[in-house]
Structure 1
């Protein structure tokens, strides 16, 4: 792999401590390994569909071949319902032992004492040699590990070769954000009004984050403070004015194709987003479009470490578990084992573990994602601080305001004012 591995010395597990919920007894001290003679039952919860459930059932069967005394009871829900149920369980301090976990909830649950400290298990029950340092760092909140990434994705630029061939325009050759805007304008003009070069990239908070990281900053600091002021946000949204003036897809078209987007309805020839979205895009585009290109995003500053690997999902353990060693053993299997790589493939994203990745059978799109993440290695920096509590609310507000700007129903100054008002409420809630 392209990222230097982390070599972790075995920790003194007997002295490690686990999180204890307020008013509850502390979890038992961790052992160096799970006692295979111990009879244990674990609850495992994940979000997904019947296809993913079948894969988890196969993974559990493979797990039980090695650990027949650990009974695993699994359950799944769609993403929104999954988190609604977790909120109810959290109130009663009765979360499942092992959970598929989303990055945006990691800070909220860990800071409320709901997740187990995994550091005592790293290098012991949970193998760390197959997981690069920046992958391990993804699950760290306030210097403590609360989640292990199962898979990763990175920001990328998808383009549609068929539409570009129709327009007679070459693929984006790379360059600055201004170069990207000029390329979009070329595509829009060449298409004769049939489709557009892309969307207003200033409507996505992730593109602001990339620019801030290139400047040596972050979207939000570890302390939860914004890494930008009103003037910086104003400059960013003003940057998109030319796109909103006819280069990019009109907001009316965006609204008309919902719940799909302009890229997977062939209304635009490019889209900046996470690199694991390709399969969904191709599925929505249909048989007329057989391939996509996946390129590096525009560059703010050459040599900057603006990109990073984000977890598609993580696995975490509830601090209320009665069997932390068994739970850690299951997490290690689901993340690191060759069997998990062979069974899940890229259903959960590109495997983060080198062991699992080596065993996974990659389809052409997954090979593209793998090649993309290798190609941008020089731009990969440390992951940003784990998202603040309420990040999802702010991300959605940013998107809504971007839509209002694209409609022309709001000035940049008013949009900036509204966003900072919303951010003040979220950060001080």
Structure 2
């Protein structure tokens, strides 16, 4: 049953201290393998963010769940993304989180470290089947050696190519992999052929994920498990300086990008390639007004051949409140939402390519989703373990990195000044 809730006014966001106090609601892990009695009548609250379309999908999923578990009543509610987290913060402060929650990666460390999420370890391979998950996928929801969430769907860093645009300028598509220098040379070739109307790409040094990829190739993390940066000022300076030649004319001028914002250079039809998460493809199709056969998905460059620099990131996760009164029933619901073919059929790729191959079997992939799935399969040998769960405040740092990259492109700041500003931001955000 759905209790449809909308955005509400006057919401006060709970402080980190309040969350820490609420953390005492956490329970002790079970000493023996837990089991669920299907004859027990249980009511669970399920919360997710989304819209009416996603709500209809959950309605179908819960109906399928109740065919198998008629004694579990699921009360589901949804909000828009910002309002969803505002309400979770208030509930966390009062120790009253929903039993099962759709969860976002950027909040996982905050809630896990405050003891607000159930340790799923005792339920894995037991109530929650892990047969359909890769080791990389299972590692995504681990904080401080404890699994507190499991991915619903995954995506990976990728390169999108506009094949129609490349045909127009007469340049072959980038083949994927290769070095960052190779990619920059290819960008320059496309730009030369484009004659001032088409560019090879935007300046890729403006994205923190590309910096992270280069760090991972050298065995480093962007941020470590103790929330310290895994790089030096010299590392960051060297990275941004790689864009000097691009900003001299090879990449889309930053001023031109400002004119078409919020579309990107790729989405605006100016650039023939773009590095981003592989679930952005549907948005590109809408921006460009093209069909899936107009786009290709290939692997990004690498700073070190044979490195495990790529990784799977969750499109979203499912987690269980540590204060739930029905952990076994909640785990049963999570298992169904993650592994059921019926749920796969209901959602398709609305929540990303399913992380569980068991659920994927129920999904009818559209042409673009098939390309993304084939891409993720092709990079299997390049996938490493997921990095530490994002530090609290990662979103702020990611945005600061983007803004500084923009200012470098506009010429309103230098690389040296940008490095100083970014490390100052790190000190402010991470203390």
Same fold (TM over 0.5): yes
- Whether 1:104 and 2:96 are equivalent positions in the alignment is no
In the alignment, which residue of structure 1 is the partner of 2:65? 63
Structure 1 Cα separation of the partners of residues 26 and 383 of structure 2: 41
Over the aligned positions, Cα root-mean-square deviation in angstroms equals 1.7
In the alignment, which residue of structure 1 is the partner of 2:14? none
Deviates more, 1:240-249 or 1:256-265: 256-265
| Alpha-carbon contact 2:151-2:314 (below 8 Å) kept | yes
Structure 2 Cα separation of the partners of residues 65 and 46 of structure 1: 22
In the alignment, which residue of structure 1 is the partner of 2:326? 323
| Alpha-carbon contact 2:25-2:322 (below 8 Å) kept | no
In the alignment, which residue of structure 1 is the partner of 2:215? 212
Q: What 5-or-longer segments of structure 2 have no aligned partner?
A: 1-19
* CA deviation map 1:202-233 (0-9, x unaligned): 10000011001101111111111111000010
In the alignment, which residue of structure 2 is the partner of 1:397? 400
Structure 1 Cα separation of the partners of residues 259 and 241 of structure 2: 25
Per the TM alignment, residue 26 of structure 1 is displaced from its structure 2 partner at its CA by 3.6
| Alpha-carbon contact 2:24-2:115 (below 8 Å) kept | no
For the residue of structure 2 that corresponds to 1:156, the secondary structure is strand
Structure 1 Cα separation of the partners of residues 179 and 23 of structure 2: 50
For the residue of structure 2 that corresponds to 1:359, the secondary structure is coil
TM-score when scaled to structure 2?
0.92
In the alignment, which residue of structure 2 is the partner of 1:261? 264
Evaluate the alpha carbon distance shift between residue 425 and residue 266 of structure 1 in structure 2; reply closer, same or farther with a 3 A threshold: same
Per the TM alignment, residue 283 of structure 1 is displaced from its structure 2 partner at its CA by 1.3
Of 151, 164, 167, which aligns to 2:166? 164
- Whether 1:74 and 2:76 are equivalent positions in the alignment is yes
In the alignment, which residue of structure 2 is the partner of 1:8? none
In the alignment, which residue of structure 2 is the partner of 1:138? 140
- Whether 1:375 and 2:378 are equivalent positions in the alignment is yes
In the alignment, which residue of structure 2 is the partner of 1:250? 253
Structure 2 Cα separation of the partners of residues 78 and 383 of structure 1: 28
Of 41, 45, 48, which aligns to 1:43? 45
For the residue of structure 1 that corresponds to 2:224, the secondary structure is coil
* CA deviation map 1:27-79 (0-9, x unaligned): 69586322111111111111112111111110000000011111111111222
For the residue of structure 2 that corresponds to 1:159, the secondary structure is strand
Deviates more, 1:418-427 or 1:186-195: 186-195
Q: How does 1:185-334 map to 2 (within 5 A)?
A: 185-287=188-290, 291-334=294-337
Per the TM alignment, residue 173 of structure 1 is displaced from its structure 2 partner at its CA by 2.6
Q: How does 1:118-137 map to 2 (within 5 A)?
A: 118-137=120-139
| Alpha-carbon contact 1:211-1:306 (below 8 Å) kept | yes
Structure 1 Cα separation of the partners of residues 363 and 234 of structure 2: 46
Structure 1 Cα separation of the partners of residues 293 and 216 of structure 2: 34
Structure 2 Cα separation of the partners of residues 197 and 154 of structure 1: 22
In the alignment, which residue of structure 2 is the partner of 1:423? 426
| Alpha-carbon contact 1:20-1:27 (below 8 Å) kept | no
Evaluate the alpha carbon distance shift between residue 24 and residue 363 of structure 1 in structure 2; reply closer, same or farther with a 3 A threshold: closer
Evaluate the alpha carbon distance shift between residue 28 and residue 382 of structure 1 in structure 2; reply closer, same or farther with a 3 A threshold: closer
Structure 1 Cα separation of the partners of residues 269 and 287 of structure 2: 10
Per the TM alignment, residue 258 of structure 1 is displaced from its structure 2 partner at its CA by 1.9
- Whether 1:87 and 2:89 are equivalent positions in the alignment is yes
In the alignment, which residue of structure 1 is the partner of 2:338? 335
Per the TM alignment, residue 288 of structure 1 is displaced from its structure 2 partner at its CA by 7.8
Structure 2 Cα separation of the partners of residues 355 and 227 of structure 1: 36
Q: What 5-or-longer segments of structure 1 have no aligned partner?
A: 1-18
Structure 2 Cα separation of the partners of residues 273 and 376 of structure 1: 15
Evaluate the alpha carbon distance shift between residue 20 and residue 326 of structure 1 in structure 2; reply closer, same or farther with a 3 A threshold: farther
| Alpha-carbon contact 1:27-1:320 (below 8 Å) kept | no
Structure 2 Cα separation of the partners of residues 141 and 287 of structure 1: 41
Structure 2 Cα separation of the partners of residues 415 and 382 of structure 1: 30
Structure 2 Cα separation of the partners of residues 213 and 158 of structure 1: 21
Per the TM alignment, residue 195 of structure 1 is displaced from its structure 2 partner at its CA by 2.0
| Alpha-carbon contact 2:292-2:367 (below 8 Å) kept | no
In the alignment, which residue of structure 2 is the partner of 1:10? none
- Count of aligned residue pairs for this structure pair: 410
| Alpha-carbon contact 1:20-1:26 (below 8 Å) kept | no
For the residue of structure 1 that corresponds to 2:109, the secondary structure is helix
Evaluate the alpha carbon distance shift between residue 205 and residue 225 of structure 1 in structure 2; reply closer, same or farther with a 3 A threshold: same
Structure 2 Cα separation of the partners of residues 136 and 130 of structure 1: 10
TM-score when scaled to structure 1?
0.92
Deviates more, 1:41-50 or 1:399-408: 41-50
* CA deviation map 1:136-188 (0-9, x unaligned): 11110000000011111011000100110111110013321111111111111
